[in-house]
Chain A
Amino acid sequence: MNALTTHAPILIIATPLLGAFAAPLIGKLGWTVRTAFAGAIAALTGCFAGLLAATLYTGGGAPIVYVLGGRLPLPSGLAAPIRIMLEVDGLSAFMALITALVAVVAVLYSVSYWKERSGGALYDSLLFLLIAGVFGLVLTGDMFNFFVFLEITSVAACGLIGFRTWRKRSSEAAFKVMALYTLSGLFVLLAVGLLYGQYGGLNIAYLATNLGGTMVDRVALALLIAGLAMKAGAVPMHMWAPEAYGEAPAPVSMVLVANSQASLYALFRVLFTLYGQSLSAAAVGWILIVLALLTIFVGVTMALVQKDLKRLIAFGAVSQIGYMLLAVGVGFAVLATRPDFGLTAITGGIFHMINDVACIGLLFLAAGAAIRASGSRDLHSMGGLAHSLKGTTVLFAVGAFALAGVPPFNGFASKLLIYESTFQLSPVLAVIAVLASIVLLAVFVRAFQAVFLGPRLIARPEPVPWPMVASMVVLAAVVIGFGLFPGFFIDKIVTPAANALWSGQGDYIRAVMGG
């Protein structure tokens, strides 16, 4: 292993952090230099994430541990690991790939999204801070560092949601998000504090060896589930999500989806790796399933009544979080007996993460382009954009069909796995999931018709610059590629991630604790 591969886990976090810190200084050198710098940072980060994932997948999926400030093995004579650690297993690497995809696309899209060229350095700074935070969330192997990264994403996300300070609703949304993110952060902090007080350690692998299902463990679990489900935007703690996705600038909405998925990842990590079978998995699994069904139902029905394009997509995004939660909840509920469909469910849920971020991201970006071109967000006053924005129209349609789970797009591939596996636990779950998808199709057909079809309502919409089109094409390529060759991608990247949850607890612990 060469030096770059060894240090890839920390470089993934440190590079966007460097971008965040240096952006305001670089920004003084003018627009061209600033844009080139942002592009370079995003590209480097993407390369490191790809390198890490390639190393992990070719290495047979054994977790990679990176110790900050020293090397493994630990200082001798210690029973518990004390250093700051990053631990990367199949699922972490998968999430890092998602984040890298989102980061590169968001930076490319942002190049020409802003019509004014000043003030962009602060935007770059916050965007890179958010990206660094999301990478940290998915790569860390330490509960307290996890909380720190959670707060980093919260602060950066609030700044980005309220970035357009001249609009009253943006500031309002940012304030709402700040309040709820802080609340979820405090839940997580309290849980981490309880576990630390009980076991005297913060490392996930160390805690996992010690948890025994006591009352303290259960209280901590409840706090973690509540906090992380809130940050992921699961109903009934979803009220921040439509505001945040709706008011944030379009590329930020997409990164926020990845941020919500990182919280969801953390929830899975806590359930499968930290707690595993030390608790009554079926009961907790069913709690997740109920939360998931609520999320799917409320998300879809609320999307049905929206008149604002971005809020409509935002509720669509909320409903998709429900699908992932449903699939993994089913997987967790059957963890004790381990039937085959449990692994299928988890595979479907995890595969749906990358599919969701690609098609919801594509929808947010296409909507951002349409809103930028027409100057309106109201479904009733946009109409007829297909006459002048042909590329965006096609791309929006691709995203909408993929989200609704229409073949041959990627949403179908993962949703089929979810339907099949949840059906075996209880047919009702699959029926609700399928019905919600049909309603979602109706929602997006209506939105598509209202925004792009019909007579021209906007006389001269602004053309969409090529970096925006290019970034949407990248996402569309993912949507179509994953839809046409689902077997290949499931085999290569999704199965290792699903196995990390389903049967990887032992490996995760051994990588740090030895033995």
Chain B
Amino acid sequence: MNNQMSVIVRTITRITYGLTIVFGFYVIMHGHLTPGGGFQGGAVVASAFALLLVAFGTAGLKGKLNHHLLQTLEEVGALAFLGLAFAGIGTAFFANLLANSGAVFGGAVPAGPNAGVLNSGGTLPFMNWAVGLKVMTGIASILIAMLIGLRKEAAE
């Protein structure tokens, strides 16, 4: 299947897709401090995936990623989110039981203006990662499905 784009596009893609993924992970990681979060970061990561699909075509992906794996990861993301919500049910559904507990992401935030403490937020960062995982895999499977549909239409 020779549906690759020109060498210029492919070269630029090789340089930028890694950066895009890192930026997406950054948006997810800092979701509780800066604008963005799981959904936005997941969409950014998926856009790197879209870049690869457009530049190299679906042939390059064969064997590396399939939609079964993506779907499973998507379900895991959704279940992780729900599980985190259930985890707080001792107090109330969605209660933040890790905040200010001293555990991972359990740090206290100083009062007043500050640069943002990454090690805070309790369950929020974990929820951002769960949503991020769901969104990046979900959008990726949608992209694959659409591309397969387009190719079928072109073949007919």
Interface positions of A (Cβ within 8 A of B): 7, 10, 14, 17-18, 21-22, 24-25, 66-71, 84
Q: Which residues of A contact B71 (CB under 8 A)?
A: 24
Q: Are A67 and B75 CB-contacts (below 8 A) given A14-B86, A17-B82?
A: no
**Whole-angstrom CA separation of A7 from B95 in the bound complex:** 12
Q: Which residues of A contact B93 (CB under 8 A)?
A: 7, 10, 14, 66, 68-69
Quick check: is B92 within 8 A (CB to CB) of the other chain? Answer: yes
Q: Are A25 and B96 CB-contacts (below 8 A) given A14-B85, A69-B88, A71-B91?
A: no
- Is the pair B92, A70 in contact by a Cβ cutoff of 8 Å? yes
- Is the pair B89, A7 in contact by a Cβ cutoff of 8 Å? yes
A83 CB to closest chain B CB (Å) equals 9
Q: Which residues of B contact A84 (CB under 8 A)?
A: 94
Chief secondary structure at chain B's binding surface:
helix
- Is the pair A69, B78 in contact by a Cβ cutoff of 8 Å? no
**A-B pairs with lowest CB-CB distance, top 9:** A21-B78, A69-B94, A10-B93, A68-B94, A25-B75, A21-B79, A69-B95, A24-B75, A68-B93
Q: List 17 other contacts, CB 8 Å, given A7-B89, A68-B92, A69-B92.
A: A7-B93, A14-B82, A14-B86, A14-B93, A17-B82, A21-B78, A21-B79, A22-B79, A24-B71, A24-B75, A25-B72, A25-B76, A66-B93, A67-B92, A69-B94, A69-B96, A70-B91
B138 CB to closest chain A CB (Å) equals 12
Q: Which residues of A contact B95 (CB under 8 A)?
A: 69-70
For B, the interface residue count at a CB cutoff of 8 angstroms equals: 17
Q: Which residues of A contact B85 (CB under 8 A)?
A: 14
**Whole-angstrom CA separation of A84 from B76 in the bound complex:** 25
Residue of A nearest to B90 (CB): A3
**Whole-angstrom CA separation of A132 from B78 in the bound complex:** 15
A-B residue pairs in contact (CB < 8 Å), sample of 10: A14-B82, A14-B86, A21-B75, A21-B82, A24-B75, A25-B72, A66-B92, A69-B88, A69-B94, A70-B95
Q: Which residues of B, 56-98, contact A by the 8 Å Cβ criterion?
A: 71-72, 75-76, 78-79, 82, 85-86, 88-89, 91-96
**Whole-angstrom CA separation of A14 from B94 in the bound complex:** 11
Residue of B nearest to A125 (CB): B75
**Whole-angstrom CA separation of A310 from B123 in the bound complex:** 48
Interface positions of B (Cβ within 8 A of A): 71-72, 75-76, 78-79, 82, 85-86, 88-89, 91-96
Q: Which residues of B contact A71 (CB under 8 A)?
A: 91-92
Q: Which residues of A contact B75 (CB under 8 A)?
A: 21-22, 24-25
**Whole-angstrom CA separation of A221 from B18 in the bound complex:** 50
**Whole-angstrom CA separation of A67 from B82 in the bound complex:** 17
A4 CB to closest chain B CB (Å) equals 10
A17 CB to closest chain B CB (Å) equals 6
**Whole-angstrom CA separation of A29 from B72 in the bound complex:** 13
**Whole-angstrom CA separation of A69 from B86 in the bound complex:** 10
A227 CB to closest chain B CB (Å) equals 25
Residue of B nearest to A71 (CB): B92
**Whole-angstrom CA separation of A25 from B79 in the bound complex:** 10
Q: Which residues of B contact A69 (CB under 8 A)?
A: 88, 92-96
**Whole-angstrom CA separation of A66 from B82 in the bound complex:** 18
**Whole-angstrom CA separation of A387 from B76 in the bound complex:** 50
**Whole-angstrom CA separation of A139 from B95 in the bound complex:** 19
Q: Which residues of B contact A24 (CB under 8 A)?
A: 71, 75
Q: Which residues of A contact B82 (CB under 8 A)?
A: 14, 17-18, 21
Residue of B nearest to A69 (CB): B94
Q: Which residues of B contact A25 (CB under 8 A)?
A: 72, 75-76, 79
**Whole-angstrom CA separation of A70 from B75 in the bound complex:** 27
**Whole-angstrom CA separation of A17 from B82 in the bound complex:** 8
**Whole-angstrom CA separation of A7 from B85 in the bound complex:** 13
**Whole-angstrom CA separation of A25 from B78 in the bound complex:** 11
**Whole-angstrom CA separation of A105 from B85 in the bound complex:** 28
Q: Which residues of B contact A66 (CB under 8 A)?
A: 92-93
Residue of A nearest to B88 (CB): A69
Residue of A nearest to B78 (CB): A21
**Whole-angstrom CA separation of A87 from B35 in the bound complex:** 31
**Whole-angstrom CA separation of A10 from B93 in the bound complex:** 7
**Whole-angstrom CA separation of A154 from B155 in the bound complex:** 33
Residue of A nearest to B71 (CB): A24
B75 CB to closest chain A CB (Å) equals 5
B74 CB to closest chain A CB (Å) equals 8
Q: Which residues of A contact B78 (CB under 8 A)?
A: 21
B101 CB to closest chain A CB (Å) equals 15
Q: Which residues of A contact B91 (CB under 8 A)?
A: 70-71
Residue of B nearest to A22 (CB): B79
Q: Which residues of A contact B72 (CB under 8 A)?
A: 25
